[in-house]
Every structure is written in structure tokens, then in C-alpha cells.
Structure 1
Amino acid sequence: MTQQTFLYQPKISDVLKNIRKVMIGKEEAAMLSVVALLAKGHVLLEDVPGVGKTMLVKTLAKSLDCDFKRIQFTPDLLPSDVTGVSIYNPKSMEFEFRPGPILGNIVLADEINRTSPKTQSSLLEGMEETSITVDGNTVPLSDPFFVMATQNPIEYEGTYPLPEAQLDRFLLKMKMGYPSAKQEMEMLSRTSNGHPIEEISAVLTREELVGLQKEVAEVYVDQTVNRYIIDLVTGTRAHESVYLGVSPRGSIALMKAAKAYAFVHDRDYVIPDDVQYMAPFVLSHRMILTSEARFEGHTSESIIDSLVSSTSIPVKRNISE
């Protein structure tokens, strides 16, 4: 995957400057997080412990003047600990709803694969419908609503693989990676006299964020680009190494992500390059490979890269009479 030059709109640039004060060498991860936020999607960060997953989410949340909630997933966590619970009040003789942390604007689902699948699925309705159901009552979630979940690789002891239905709700899945020796040296210097996150302040209000999300929704996507998205997605369904290809939800997700990616680069239209860049982050976690492909060392990312290389890029031609 080729690196691109990032040119951001002013408000987005302010958020990313905040993140750069705390995170060193994570420009791409920061940009992708903002893309998902603007596209009204959710992010899954998967990597080994200690590389800054939680710190990235905290810094992003602190840069926004929004209600931030954190859920620390543990094996004994219950679904009601996430969504909330109705408690009987003997004085009023009525049940009162005590909201759970999912009712925040920015929600950090920390180490989501440390808890049981039953509790993991408690996030499903909120992430998809922006509402939750508690004791038969539908409770709308706040606007904006953004979930950023972290997880350790499933090879680590005490983790539960996320169900496919849960993975499909995340707009993007990405990894942080280890810093270089030079970056780690700078990290030690920055944190020697305190953590830089303490100096971060909000640079984007809730109203401004909602306004930007509406602008992203208006970004133009030509039918030839939509055709290109569909060609990539249907290519996963026909690939010999893929047992289960990307669903139509994946097509919609790739279009939304491409629109947000174009927007942060100060364009009001999507080009095929936007789709190509976002495809591995949007599509790879929505596929299931065959056992033979996994045995041969293939990954979802490598298959997406091959499809991007082999799928024809659309060219719109003006035919003069």
C-alpha cells in the first residue's frame, strides 16, 4: 500500500495536530480514525498490548467537545453493564432507567475481545441502529455516536474471537504497529516529565462535528466509481481463496469511507484512488478465507491488494456527437 500526502481541512487538521502531540508516527491511524468518525462509522483497533491503541482513542475524544465514555471489557461484564438497566424506585413506584456507558458520544470499548460473545453483542444494536432496547423500551443514542474498540490478537490467552456479525458493524479495522527506534526515543523524551495528553484541549465542538458529518454525506460519488466499488466487492465473492465474501453492507461501507477520505483531503467528490486506499481497511475484516488459503499463508489484506491490482479502474469518457 502506497503512502499518500495528507492535506487536511482546517478543523480536521486541528484534531490531527492534537493527536500528533501525543502519538508519534501514527499519522495514518489518526487520519483513518477521523475518516470513520466523519463517515458515522466505527473503528476496531487490533494489535498487541502497549502500542497506544487506548491512548489514540483518549486523545481523539479529548480533542472533541463531546461526552466520552469508556467500557473496560472483562470476562464478568454483563450486557446491562453496557446498555444500562431499569431500577425500581419505591418512592415513585416506577422503574427508572439508569443509562449505561453506551449512551455517550465517543465510546471506547477497551479490549472488547476480553468479554463473552453475549456481552460483545450488546453493542450490535447501538452500532447499527443508533438506538438500544432495554426492557422492551427503545432508547435513542446521542448524536454523534462513535465507537472505537480495541482488541488484542486472539492468539493471546483469555480472549474471545469477535463474531462475524459484530465485525461487520465496524467500518474500519486497522493495526497500530510498533514504533521505530527513533520514534520510541522521542516518546521517552516526551513522557519523561509528564504525559502530553494532559495538555490537550477540545478543538472541535459537537455541533461542528455533526455539521462536518452532514457535509461528508453530500460528497459526490459518480456511478462509474460506484461500479468500481461493486466490482471489488463482488470480486471477493468469486475469489477461489475466499469462503465467504463481502456483503452488500461492505459496499455501502466502502462508499461512505471513500467519501469521508475525499472530504478530509478537501474534495467534494470521490475518485478511484480514494476507494483503492480505503479498500483494505474496510473490506478485509468482512471476509472469511478457506482453510487451504490460510494454510498457504494468504491473508484477507493480500487478497484485497490483489483485487485492487487486477480490477479495472473506471474511466469516464465524454463522447461527442
Structure 2
Amino acid sequence: MPLNAATEAARLSIAPMMDWTDRHCRRFHREISQHAFVYTEMVTAPALVRGGARHLLRFNPAEHPVALQIGGSDPAELATAAAMGADEGYDEINLNVGCPSDRVQSGCFGAVLMERPGLVADCVRAMIAAQPRPVTVKCRIGVDQQNPADVLPDFIARMGDAGLGHVIVHARKAWLSGLSPKENRDVPPLDYPLVERMKAEFPEMRISINGGIASLAEAEAFLARGLDGVMIGRAAYHTPMEILGAADGRIFGDARPPRAAHDVARAMIPHIEAHLAEGGRLHAVTRHMLGLFAGRPGARVWRRMLSEGAHEDGAGPELIEEALARIPEARAA
């Protein structure tokens, strides 16, 4: 995908989320929106380079535009992993400088790297030099006792000097001790104005905002105020039709009518059949589809039938049709 196309897709993206945004989830989201940027779960550079886990890069071409998120802190290793991602056909390579979990701290990557911006800049230079795809960084506004008003401008300036053109900022601090990863998604206060000031201070840098954004209207407001992109995580996962169903028209100007939820579910059946033919289980796909009818008539029936039935031996796509038959069918607005 050309750089300008990647830039356009980044107007609305779905956040990388561990255990959630796997290839089945990304394919499901792509059936709802043709334009939003989807991201992989974080894949560590050591797993790819030293562990031989190239299978973790697997994706379906139908997922495009799709970005690979990598975790690591060794410039040479990250360069090799980035090149592997480019060879696989990803549209963007993203470096994780935001995850606060104990595991990433012990491996010296994720949010702990906010304390080592010089090292991050070295990593970015190496990743850019190693392959042709755009490189981006997803970061926090700071960690622990850092003052975000001081830390974030310095961090972004260093990224620009390293050749980076796009930073995705989760507008919360990360507390590396005392809070769990789950609490780090909710407890530290959001500072949207700081991220907006960064766009004014660094107009040449593309800046996307992430954290706590729960509606398409909020995303539109951030774009109207000059930010280059909005990344949405849990809201897009739990209420995909509310976020992605109208995104192509409202965010990307696509005049085609949005897809109805029933049509989205049926469009997943060939993917489900292929997964089952490879020996997979139905639940691996349908667990990402539970929110398809969120807030709509039949939502509870849909969740119950998929949650209970998809785990059973021999469960197949007929469960989708059985559940859909119980839900009033209406065209998307």
C-alpha cells in the first residue's frame, strides 16, 4: 500500500490488543469496514528472529490495510523483524513503546522505553533503514514520575530526528509499578489536550490519538481539531457496528451504504470454513463476533448461542445461521 494510502487509512485505526486482535478478529473487522487500519497483536522481535516464530506473521491478504506491531529494544533485532514483516506484506511496521505489563518491562520493551528515548530513536532508525514500509511508534505520554509536558515533546522531537513520520499517542501515563496492565487502561487520567498540543508543536509529524475513545463522534471531533488519526480499542471490539459500521462513510467519505450486521456474519462463513478445514475450532473465530449485535434486538440471543455452541465438538458455520434466524433482520442505517 502506498504511503499516502497508509496515511489515509490511519485516520481511523483499531488498536493492537493482546489476545484480541488476532487474524480472525482482523478479518471480522475488515468485513465491517473496508478502510479502517487494523493492527496485529504485539509480536516480539526475539520470537521472530531468535525463536523462529514466523508463523505469528500469518495474515490473509483480505485484511489490508494491516499493520504489524513489534515489541523489542535491540535495534539490529528489530531491523530484522521489521524486514520480515515487510517481506510478509504488512502495510506498516509499528514499534510498541506503550505496553505496561511486567513481561515487557523485564524484556526492556513497551512503556519502559519511554525512559530511554535515545534507544527508541536508534531502534526507529534501524527499522526504517532495513525495509521499505512506513515505521510508526505507539507510545504513552510518560511513565511513573515523569512529567508528560516535558517528556512527550522531547520524545516526539527525537522520533522526528530519527526519521519517523507518525506517532500514535495513548493519552495516559503508564504506571510500571503499583498498577496492573488492566488498571493502566483506566486509572491514569487521560490528557487529550497535551496530545493536541503536540500536533500544534510538531505540525510536520503525523500524530494519532488513542485512549478511552468510545464513539465515532469523538473520533470525528479529534480529526476536526487537527489530529491526523484516531485509534480506538475496546469500543471497536465490543461494539464493532457502532464504531466501524458507519466509519467508511463518516471518516473516509465512502458513499456506499454500510453493511448490515446479518451480512457481516454471513460474510465470515467462508473464513470459518477455511479455519475449520485446517483443524481449527469455531470458537477461535466466533469469540470475536459476540458484539456484532451489541445494543440491537437479539444481541443477548446472539451472544448466548455463540458462547454456548461454538465450544461444542463438531460446531460449524450452521451455528451462525441458526443464531441469525433468531434475530430480526434490518438493513444498517
Q: Same fold per TM (> 0.5)? A: no
Q: TM-score, normalised by structure 2?
A: 0.29
Greater C-alpha radius of gyration: 1
Structure with greater strand percent: 1
Q: TM-score, normalised by structure 1?
A: 0.30
Where relative contact order (Cα < 8 A, 6+ residues apart) is larger, the structure is 1
